[in-house]
Structure 1
Amino acid sequence: MAEATARNLNMLLVEEQNLLRKTVSLTARSLGMGTVHEAATVQAAERMLRERAYQGAVISIDCGADGDGHYNLALLDKVRNGLSASPATIPIAVMVDQATADLMRELRERQVNRVILKPFRAKILLEAFEAFGK
């Protein structure tokens, strides 16, 4: 990945945990990977997706999930249906507590590029963002 290109990457991280968001954002910037824009809620992420184009996103589908164990796939649907400033084909990784066969089928249908199982190290998210620039 060319260094000039990496610095220009705008990536979105949707995650409720502040420490994880900050760690990934600061580390990505210090490594010259680009800018990781942080959203703590689905509502904030929706606003950010309308206002700016991103070259990739890592989305915790636990954010805004209901108490019945159903994951929130609304952000994925909005991006894939062209309802954001980003191309509908941007690479997307999701973070999830557990991956059932039904969930994996739904993610495949939405062309999710990577599934990251919790718990994980921040390095895993950085690797996902790095892959967006390739």
Structure 2
Amino acid sequence: MPESANKALNMLLVEEQNLLRKTVALTARSLGMGIVHEAANLQQADRMLRERAYHGAVISIDCGANPEHKYNLALLDKVRNGLSASDAHMPIAVMVDQATADLMRELRERQINRVILKPFRAKVLLEAFEAFGAKPAPG
């Protein structure tokens, strides 16, 4: 029965690029990895996180960031502080343009499981979701 359990996994992908989101969501579903719910921005993701529990998330922390603050960590803080329907300790990977020492320190403090540097291939996101427990269906 593990295959049916995998299909029940709900994961969240927060990324501005529509084609990337669609590719990852469709591929994950076709591989039996579960359902990847898509959010185009942090506001939409915030609403989705309040409405449904997820087993893991990959979040682009530069979505909607302003020039003064290159990265927006507010969504990560909400999840880690228990202000979402998801487990505060669910696995989270972040996508960033560059990883400075200060940013890495802040991500470690927030118990981020993986940092994905842009640019990357859609396969990298699928591997992150697989690491969250969304194993592809056998055969």
Give the shorter-chain TM-score range: over 0.9
Q: Which residue of 1 aligns with 2:40?
A: 40
Whichever residue aligns with residue 53 of structure 2, its letter is: A
Structure 2 gap segments, 5+ residues each: 135-139
- 3-state SS of 2:37 partner: strand
- 3-state SS of 2:11 partner: strand
- Paired with 1:61 and 1:27, the residues of 2 have a C-alpha distance of 23
Q: Which residue of 2 aligns with 1:21?
A: 21
Whichever residue aligns with residue 52 of structure 2, its letter is: R
Deviation, 1:37, is: 0.2
- 3-state SS of 1:127 partner: helix
**Per-residue CA distance 1:80-101 (angstroms, 9 max, x = gap):** 0000000100000000000000
- Paired with 1:106 and 1:24, the residues of 2 have a C-alpha distance of 27
Question: What do you get for the CA RMSD once the two structures are aligned?
Answer: 1.3
**2:10 paired with 1:10:** yes
Structure 1 gap segments, 5+ residues each: none
Q: Which residue of 2 aligns with 1:61?
A: 61
Deviation, 1:69, is: 4.9
Deviation, 1:70, is: 2.4
Whichever residue aligns with residue 75 of structure 2, its letter is: L
Aligned length: 134
- 3-state SS of 1:104 partner: helix
Q: Which residue of 2 aligns with 1:131?
A: 131
Deviation, 1:45, is: 0.3
- Paired with 1:3 and 1:93, the residues of 2 have a C-alpha distance of 24
- 3-state SS of 1:13 partner: strand
Q: Which residue of 1 aligns with 2:137?
A: none
TM-score by length of 1: 0.97
Whichever residue aligns with residue 40 of structure 1, its letter is: A
- Paired with 1:69 and 1:98, the residues of 2 have a C-alpha distance of 14
TM-score by length of 2: 0.93
